[in-house]
């Protein structure tokens, strides 16, 4: 089922090297994520590390299951991938 259209126009691009839909404004990405969550899809808006845009994506399973918060998950991930 598709998420309902946000109540205002949101602007997106495909300029990201990942090929994902990018939102120039964090508020636009959050508005889309919110509309999707109302339909039961567990997503969040997040800044991309490859472009200056924001994307909307599924939350990691550990976050969805309540094992850790999103900030804890990504802090652990950054720690694990940091150069030694």
DSSP symbols for 3-39: PPPPSS---EE--STT---EESSHHHHHHHHHHHHHT
Query: What is the end-to-end Cα distance of the chain in Å, rounded?
Result: 44
pLDDT at 63: 84
User: Would you list the domain boundaries of the chain?
Assistant: 13-81
Q: What is the pLDDT of residue 4?
A: 53
- pTM (2 decimals)? 0.66
Residue range 2-55, pLDDT digits in tens: 555 545 667 787 878 888 889 988 999 999 999 999 999 889 998 888 888 999
pLDDT at position 38 is: 93
Question: Which carries the bigger pLDDT value, residue 68 or residue 14?
Answer: 68
């Amino acid at each position: 089922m598709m998420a309902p259209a946000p109540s205002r126009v949101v602007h997106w691009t495909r300029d990201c090297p990942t090929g994902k839909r990018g939102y120039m404004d964090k508020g636009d990405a959050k508005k889309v994520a919110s509309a999707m969550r109302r339909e039961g899809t567990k997503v969040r808006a997040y800044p991309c590390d490859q472009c200056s845009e924001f994307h909307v994506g599924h939350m990691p399973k550990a976050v969805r299951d309540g094992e850790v918060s999103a900030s804890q998950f990504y802090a652990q991930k950054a720690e694990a991938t940091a150069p030694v």
